[in-house]
Amino acid sequence: MLFDKFQDMANFQAELAERDVKPFGAVTEQILSATEGIVEGRKVILAGTNNYLGLSYDPRCIRAAQDAAERWGTGTTGSRLANGSFAEHEALEQEIADFYGVENAIVFSTGYAATMGMCATLAGPGDTILLDADSHASIYAGVTLSGADIIRFKHNNPEDLAKRLRRLGDNTGRALIIAEGIYSMYGDIAPLREIAEVKREFGGYLFLDEAHSMGTLGATGRGAAQEAGVEDDVDFFAGTFSKSLGAIGGFCVSRHAEMEAIRFCIRSYIFTASSSPSVIASTRESLRIIQAEPELREKLWENAHRLYDGLKQLGLPVSPAASPVVALEMEDRSATIDCWKALLEAGVYVNLVVPPASPSNNYLLRNSVSAAHSTAQIDSIIAAYASLIDAGLAKPTLAA
């Protein structure tokens, strides 16, 4: 039967309904601030939003969006190639290119469309794509559509990448290497210095998804490549507006002049309506704020270290290192669901991640930290996790 392949998911949904828990698609009835809201009828601290700098609720960004809607209307009603290229779209492309110090930029309607579209287009039949095994779903979707030969290298393992590039011999000129700055599930940062060294030795082009690292890393917030000092080794930077910039959309920038020709070959760009003027306006304001207020990044990392250290001191199985994403990995699905529900009841909303979304066969309680979180809110999140231990729902597995 056509629907047989969905039976496991249907069974899982039935289990969640029976347990009166809604970790996927939980409804937010009201936003109170960048860090608080009413979710499923409860006032909670928002610790699963990717709102890293708190800019989704910044009054300057809100005002910019309101002004743009008044001036330009609520939507473009067309793709960039039809009737959807407004002056504001071009202005944002110029500003984000300037931000990265390159000449060429493309703005997409979503971050998914940006990474999927670029990965589907840059390489094709006869080319080879080498991607980190833990790459985001949008990257996998894109490379599958590309028609290129696909080779996965071990997660964050430059030696494995080098081994696989070596096997390509003289064909590395047609190779696209794909990595991410910060990986979205565990929050681990790519070893970009070593990856750049491998690329310099063997050749190829490097595509870097900075979705979770743009705005959070680097002296001016350009991301993990800037933090590692290897920006000159990256051929294409992609990212999203839905994390640090607090909106929705995506981008790709490059020093390669061919980007303008590539633009007209990307299906997710050609056949998707362009972003609404209000989204573009708030994104432009957020980009300005990121450059003008580095103290936001400082506060973000202060909060990230405080949460990570607090959970680690409880002995909980946290992700490898402190970052804006702090995840707890658990082996038992039922126990993880119970913990998610208990956290919500304690006034903390986090993300529940299950396979295949998680990089392993385990389950994650994924926390994302914001510069807008107060110290008291971070401590409340830690206290909520401590209550899981007190209730016997979670067991310390690390030396506290």
**104 CB-side CA count, 13 A:** 13
Q: What sign does the dihedral 76-79-84-88 (CA atoms) show? A: positive
> Which has the closest alpha carbon to 137: 244, 47, 196, 209?
209
Query: Does residue 301 register a pLDDT over 70?
Result: yes
Tell me phi and psi for residue 101, to 5 degrees.
70, 30
**180 CB-side CA count, 13 A:** 24
Q: What is the dihedral of CA 385, 390, 393, 397, to 10 degrees?
A: 70
Sheet with 351-353, strands from edge to edge, namely 325-330, 363-368, 351-353
pLDDT at 226: 98
Q: Across the chain, what does the average pLDDT equal?
A: 95
Residues 6+ apart with CB under 8 A from 134: 155, 156, 180, 183, 185, 359
User: What whole-number distance in Å separates Cα of residue 192 and Cα of residue 200?
Assistant: 12
| Contact between 277 and 89 (Cβ < 8 Å) | no
pLDDT at 30: 96
User: What whole-number distance in Å separates Cα of residue 274 and Cα of residue 271?
Assistant: 9
Burial class for 192, CB neighbours closer than 10 Å (0-12, 13-18, 19+) = buried
Write out pLDDT tens, residues 334-371.
999 999 999 999 999 999 998 877 777 889 999 999 99
User: What whole-number distance in Å separates Cα of residue 246 and Cα of residue 35?
Assistant: 12
pLDDT at 391: 87
Where in the chain does DSSP place strands (E)? 28-31, 36-39, 42-46, 104-108, 128-132, 149-153, 175-180, 205-209, 236-240, 250-254, 325-330, 348-349, 351-353, 363-368
Query: Does residue 400 register a pLDDT over 70?
Result: no
Is residue 204 very low, low, confident or very high in pLDDT (cuts 50, 70, 90)? very high
pLDDT at 398: 65
User: What whole-number distance in Å separates Cα of residue 232 and Cα of residue 274?
Assistant: 30
> Which has the closest alpha carbon to 208: 196, 221, 220, 216?
196
Domains and CATH numbers, the chain: 4-57+294-390 (3.90.1150.10), 59-292 (3.40.640.10)
Is residue 399 very low, low, confident or very high in pLDDT (cuts 50, 70, 90)? low
The per-type count for the chain, helices as H runs and strands as E runs, is 14, 14
pLDDT at 201: 97
| Contact between 250 and 112 (Cβ < 8 Å) | yes
Is residue 289 very low, low, confident or very high in pLDDT (cuts 50, 70, 90)? very high
Burial class for 203, CB neighbours closer than 10 Å (0-12, 13-18, 19+) = middle
- At residue 38, the 3 state secondary structure works out as strand
pLDDT at 12: 85
Query: Does residue 47 register a pLDDT over 60?
Result: yes
- Residues 277-305 have a mean pLDDT of 98
- Residues 99-118 have a mean pLDDT of 98
User: What whole-number distance in Å separates Cα of residue 224 and Cα of residue 190?
Assistant: 8
pLDDT at 183: 96
Query: Does residue 23 register a pLDDT over 90?
Result: no
Q: Which residue has the higher pLDDT, 298 or 10?
A: 298
Write out pLDDT tens, residues 165-200.
999 999 999 999 999 999 999 999 999 999 999 999
Q: Which residue has tokens 């949460």?
A: 307
State which amino acid sits at residue 283: T
